[in-house]
Structure 1
Amino acid sequence: MPRFDPWNVFLKREWNRNWPFLVGFAITGALVTKLTASLTEEDAKNSPFVQRHRR
């Protein structure tokens, strides 16, 4: 007789609960990565934020 594996039930229930958070996290991460990858050194030199927080 096969044993009952509760992980399948647990993962399905948690996926149904958490998928909006995970999808939003993925979209936000992709946008941040795309925007930061497009910055150049010239943009950093001209940025008031970078000038204020330069260490």
Structure 2
Amino acid sequence: VVVAKWTGDLDTNRLHAGLNNETWQEANEPEAILDAKTEHMDTRTNKGSVNRPT
């Protein structure tokens, strides 16, 4: 990896995709993956209290 980076032969996009566990489709067509997901919005009125330091 060091030599490939030094000589300019390292494909950093492919390296990052592999390290982030992206599939080929996720790396090349992220919109298709996002369009296939069904999002649900939390509509609860009482989501609990948050303890914040004073």
TM-score by length of 1: 0.28
For CA contacts below 8 A with separation 6 or more, give which structure has more relative contact order. Answer: 2
Larger proportion of helix: 1
TM-score by length of 2: 0.28
Q: Which has the larger radius of gyration?
A: 1
